[in-house]
Amino acid sequence: MAQTAKLDLRRFGSIKTATKTVLSGSPENENNFDAQPIAPQTETVKMQKRMTMDVPPYSFVMLEVELK
């Protein structure tokens, strides 16, 4: 079941967009020579000062932002 993360980015100034990379899978999944079910999914997301983000179970989520 996905969890909702609350983000408060007010202290970072102006952030318009970010690159979101998610690596997720089931506990029984594994990558091997025949199949790679666990692969990063990347997308550009619109950022807000305060926002929520759904985080899939068994996942790692990374947000890359450019600060000026």
Strand ordering across the sheet containing 59-64: 41-46, 17-24, 59-64
pLDDT at res. 68 = 73
Strands (DSSP E) found in the chain: 3-8, 17-24, 41-46, 50-55, 59-64
Largest CA distance in the chain: 46
pLDDT at res. 66 = 86
Residue carrying the six token digits 């029984």 = 28
1 has a pLDDT exceeding 90:
no
Tens of pLDDT along 31-56?
999 999 999 999 999 999 999 999 99
Query: 48 phi and psi, to 5 degrees?
Result: -135, 160
Cut 0.75: pTM above it: yes
pLDDT at res. 67 = 80
